[in-house]
Amino acid sequence: QQQVKQSPQSLIVQKGGISIINCAYENTAFDYFPWYQQFPGKGPALLIAIRPDVSEKKEGRFTISFNKSAKQFSLHIMDSQPGDSATYFCAASGAGAGSYQLTFGKGTKLSVIP
C-alpha cells in the first residue's frame, strides 16, 4: 500500500519558470513532511520540511504549501534554474505517533531547460 502518492512522475520547466510537485497522503498520523532533492549517484538532501500546524513555509526559492483537510502538500520552486534539475521526493513520518520511518513518494524527475 503506497501511503504517499507523488505527481507528476516527470516535469520539464523552462528556466525562470515555476516548478510544482504534488503529494497526497493517507495516514492521518503523519505529522512531519520533508522534501528531499537527489542528484544522480548521490544521497537525498533535505530541502525543506513542514508540520501540519502551518499552511505554508518558504525558504529562498522553495515553498511548501500544506492542506491538512485534503491531506495534500506541494513543493513550489520559483525561478527554476538548470541546476535545480534533479529528482525530488516528498516524504512523511509520524514520530508523534511512534512511527519514525520516512515514507517516500516515488519521486519526480525535474528537468529545467535553458
Minimum CB–partner distance for residue 17 and other proteins (Å) = 25
Of the pair 19, 93, the CB lying nearest other proteins is at 93
Asked if residue 55 binds other proteins (CB under 8 A), the reply is no
Asked if residue 3 binds other proteins (CB under 8 A), the reply is no
The torsion region of residue 52 among left (phi > 0), alpha (psi -120 to 50) and beta comes to: alpha
Minimum CB–partner distance for residue 55 and other proteins (Å) = 20
Could you tell me the three cell numbers for 71? 491531506
Binding span for other proteins by CB under 8 A among 55-63, 64-72, 76-84, 85-93: 85-93
One of 14, 42, 69, 70 touching other proteins (CB under 8 A): 42
Residue at grid coordinates 511548501: 64
Asked if residue 46 binds other proteins (CB under 8 A), the reply is yes
Pairing of strands 108-113, 10-14: parallel
Q: How far is CA 35 from CA 97, 106, 114, in A?
A: 20, 12, 24
Minimum CB–partner distance for residue 56 and other proteins (Å) = 19
Sign of the dihedral through C-alpha 75, 66, 101, 105: negative
